[in-house]
Structure 1
Amino acid sequence: MEQQQQPQLLMVREDLGMLPDLVLPEGYVEHSLRPGDEDGWEHIITASFGGEHRFDKGIAADDPYKPERVRFISMENGGPVATASAWYRPQWKENTGYLHMVGLLPEHAGKKLGYAVSLAALHYMAREGRTRAVLHTDDFRIPAIKTYLNLGFIPELADDSHLDRWIALAGQLNRVIPAVQGNGTRTEIKP
């Protein structure tokens, strides 16, 4: 019998008004898409997610695409090493940004660059007038989930499977995780 795929986890950050300043390690710079960065995006996303990812058929073909929404962290004297997109999805309210396609080259892990590039995307959302942000992620993306929690995102229990999955994640992370139920009620998920 074929196993049915579970829906992705949903996380929300309700307020983009008080974002921390973007601080990068020495030797790195943050920027939006520049000519030639498309290959860097493909390399980062393929390294992060596997499979084949084409910039022109993926991100650039999506209706919300604007080059300035695709954020990068690059080495000062080199190419892109991390990316995140400050996206918009019509199913969310107009004031809601969608953190999309966050990736990091593995050889640059451990420098908080995933946090930094995601924060850069959130700053861009705020500049566009968005006041909140959402994202989807998967249970096995533990480093990404830690990053999102550190950025102030909390789980939204939007599917019947989410609570049990977040309880398991709270145990893996050994921490209490604030969450919001689909009806807006706040709760805490304990390990």
Structure 2
Amino acid sequence: MGIFNFRNKPEERYLRHLKRIFRREPRYYLEESLIPGLPGVTTFVYKDVPEKGYITGITYGLSLANHPDWQYGRPELCISVKSTALEWARVAGYIANNLRGNCPFSYGQTINFKQKVSSDSDMDAFFIFAPSTLDRADHADIDIGLDYKINIVGLYPMYSEELKVYEEMGLKDFWHHEGFDNYSVTRERIVGR
């Protein structure tokens, strides 16, 4: 388990924002940085959020990198699933740490993880959308005292076999498909029309 160092005010403000939302202390996990001069990404893990039997992970450190698409704020990731497996929360930090600076993490974007995240599921890919666990006021335009705002985006697990179907359907139709459950890591695969 990593230690989240309060070396500057932005980190403190971000954590206070999360404490106000979840009203509990998270566990912290730190990824070793792959970018010289930047600290690694920290994942805050909340068990039994949004309810008992679920796990939520939220990152800090993705937004410390730059990307040309980030004009109206910088993202951090949030994943919430119906599982007690720690790997589901920690994968957000791993993805953020490994793709920051190269990936915009824009709504609708997919990520082929190419391996199972946890033994409780065969899901091995993700898509990005608004975080279902947080209200808009809690995930958009978060001011932590820097020259940019943070926008927390949702990371949703899916099967890599669904990537083509997702692309054909589009985000909206995939999200509203009767077989889709954004918290389930064991749902049936969605097949084409």
Fold-level similarity (TM above 0.5): no
Higher strand residue share = 1
Q: Which has the higher contact order (CA 8 A, sep 6+)?
A: 1
Query: TM bucket by the smaller chain?
Result: 0.3 to 0.5
Please, what TM-score do these two structures have when normalized by structure 2?
Answer: 0.36
